[in-house]
Amino acid sequence: MSDLCKIQEIRIPCFIGVDDWEAKTLQTLVIDLHFPISATTAAATDCIQHTIDYRVVADGLFATFEGKRIQLIETFAEQIANWVLTHTPVMWIDVIITKDISKTAAQTAVVQIHRERP
């Protein structure tokens, strides 16, 4: 399947990082998701049941992960991938997470993972 859905800039406030101040400071991670869809079937029927409802995915992730405490972006990415693979029929998912680290010498840290159904 070569059709792709991208949900970009899902903003989830959480407590993320390894430093003590990060455990106490709400930070917003920006999540992008890429996953396969069948646009042909959805377009032919004009029916949401023939595709992935991106609102359900974005709202579900927000409801599940808002305010969560995690140390590593990698852990967050893995948990998001698992959520999507559990709650949707997609065969694979790319998760890209961006964290503002402008208090360091860089502006952002980005972790990207690719996960597939077993």
Q: Are strands 69-70 and 4-16 parallel, antiparallel or unpaired?
A: parallel
- pLDDT of residue 6 exceeding 90, the answer is yes
For 42-56, the pLDDT digits (tens) are 899 999 988 999 999
Compute the distance between CA of residue 52 and CA of residue 28 in angstroms, rounded to an integer.
Answer: 25
Domains contained in the chain, CATH given: 4-116 (3.30.1130.10)
Q: Between 2 and 93, whose confidence is greater?
A: 93
Question: Please, which pLDDT band fits residue 118 given cuts at 50, 70 and 90?
Answer: confident
Q: What is the pLDDT, as a whole number, of residue 74?
A: 97
Q: What does the DSSP assignment read for 34-92?
A: EEE--HHHHHHHT-GGGS--HHHHHHHHHHHHTT-EES-HHHHHHHHHHHHHHHS--SE
The average confidence (pLDDT) of the chain is: 93
For 50-88, the pLDDT digits (tens) are 899 999 999 999 999 999 999 999 999 999 999 999 999
3 state SS of 98: strand
Compute the distance between CA of residue 19 and CA of residue 7 in angstroms, rounded to an integer.
Answer: 30
Compute the distance between CA of residue 98 and CA of residue 87 in angstroms, rounded to an integer.
Answer: 23
Classify burial at 104, counting beta carbons within 10 Å of its beta carbon; exposed 0-12, middle 13-18, buried 19 or more.
exposed
